Structure 1
């Protein structure tokens, strides 16, 4: 299930860049949120027990869930921008470093962090620095590559913060299904007002983009479903570690379809980021 989640999320990351370039960052995320909200609402209607159980959660848990959802949608916007500007081979592995920020927040809030996790953080940081090494690109292309790295790290920070809030405060009470529905609902509400300001923002995407938008949303849901199934019926740490391969899968897809070229030092950095992420998740 961890490997299936990695395949789905790797495919999602690959399609995110295509969608952002085709219909714009905000519209791409908006349509993805809309489809996810529809699907999760249908799931809660079919299995209302999930929603009924979560209704007993305190109000502050729902508020924290809403805050986590805001971080998630902000992370999705940053991620789409990163993929629209830069190479999937660099951006996707960078985002897997979200574990650094989740672990750092856990440590800051009083959790005990073992030496191995600090090693994982250090490996990730070194990997990020190497990944950021300048390539032979000039002018506008170099600027876009730098910006994509900044947006990719911003997405990792936002996702890491969201996952920390969910893991510590909301998931135990709301459960994964209701929390995912809340995330889509809040994201859709925020993005609705953002796309209203864009010309033809609410207009349906062209037919050629509709397929990739739908595929990205379904792959994302498929990845989450596989991850949840594996976590429930197996080891959370093992599923999480294997799902981290999604960054590598997106990088391979970027190379195969877009012929993205990287410097050897950047490849080394990408490998270190993935290794650091695995270390963090393995000893979480």
Structure 2
């Protein structure tokens, strides 16, 4: 399940860039949220026991869930912008550093950070610095390249905070299905308010774009479902470690389909981020 989640999320990251360039960042995220909300609503209608269980949750849990959902949709917007501006081979691995944020928040909440975790955080930070360096004079360091890295790190911050809130306060009470439905609902409301101001924002895109939008949304939903199933059936740490391979998979897809080439120092930076994130998840 962890490997399946990694494959699906890697494919999602790859398609996110295509969708953002084709229909715009905000519209791409909006259509993904709309499809996800529809699917999760149908699931709740088919299995009403999920609803009955979550209705007993206190108000503060719902409010924290809404805050986590807002952070998730903010992360999705930042991630789409990063993929639209930069290379998947850099952006995707950088986003896996959300584990650094989750670990630091856990530490701030009273949990102890081991020396290995501290070293992994240092590796991720060093990797981020190296991945933003262009040592090849033939590859210009454009403003777009710098912006894509900034948006990728912003997305990691949003996702890391959201996952921490969900894991500590929401998922144990609401469960993964209701939380995912809430995330799509809040995201859809936020995106409607944003997209309605764009000319033809709510207009259905051309068929070819609908296919990639639907594919990205279904793979993202499949990734979350695989992750949840694997976490329930086996070890959360093992599933999490394997699922973070998604950044590497998206980077490989970017290289294969778009021939995205990186300088050697950037490759080293990407590797350090991935290794740091993997070991950090394993030791969390």
Question: TM class, shorter-chain normalised?
Answer: over 0.9
* Corresponding residue for residue 99 of structure 1: 99
Q: Please give the alpha-carbon distance, in whole angstroms, between the structure 2 residues aligned to 1:45 and 1:219.
A: 22
RMSD: 0.8
* Corresponding residue for residue 238 of structure 1: 238
* Corresponding residue for residue 217 of structure 2: 217
Q: Map 1:168-207 onto structure 2 (within 5 A).
A: 168-207=168-207
Which blocks of at least 5 consecutive residues in structure 2 are unaligned? none
Greater Cα shift, 80-89 or 122-131:
122-131
* Corresponding residue for residue 269 of structure 1: 269
Matched, 1:71 2:74: no
In the TM superposition, residue 109 of structure 1 has moved relative to its aligned partner by 1.3
In the TM superposition, residue 113 of structure 1 has moved relative to its aligned partner by 1.6
Taking structure 2 as the reference length, the TM-score comes to 0.98
In the TM superposition, residue 208 of structure 1 has moved relative to its aligned partner by 1.1
Q: Please give the alpha-carbon distance, in whole angstroms, between the structure 2 residues aligned to 1:99 and 1:51.
A: 30
3-state SS of 2:200 partner: coil
3-state SS of 2:202 partner: coil
In the TM superposition, residue 93 of structure 1 has moved relative to its aligned partner by 0.2
Matched, 1:46 2:50: no
* Corresponding residue for residue 283 of structure 1: 283
Greater Cα shift, 19-28 or 128-137:
128-137
3-state SS of 2:240 partner: helix
3-state SS of 2:142 partner: helix
* Corresponding residue for residue 108 of structure 2: 108
Q: Please give the alpha-carbon distance, in whole angstroms, between the structure 1 residues aligned to 2:205 and 2:48.
A: 32
Taking structure 1 as the reference length, the TM-score comes to 0.98
- 4+ aligned runs moved over 2 Å, structure 1: 134-138
Alignment length (residue pairs): 282
In the TM superposition, residue 116 of structure 1 has moved relative to its aligned partner by 1.4
* Residues 27-83 of structure 1 deviation map (CA, whole Å, 9 limit, x = unaligned): 000000000000000111111111110110100000000000000000000000000
Matched, 1:145 2:152: no
* Residues 77-125 of structure 1 deviation map (CA, whole Å, 9 limit, x = unaligned): 0000000000000000000000000100111111122221111111111
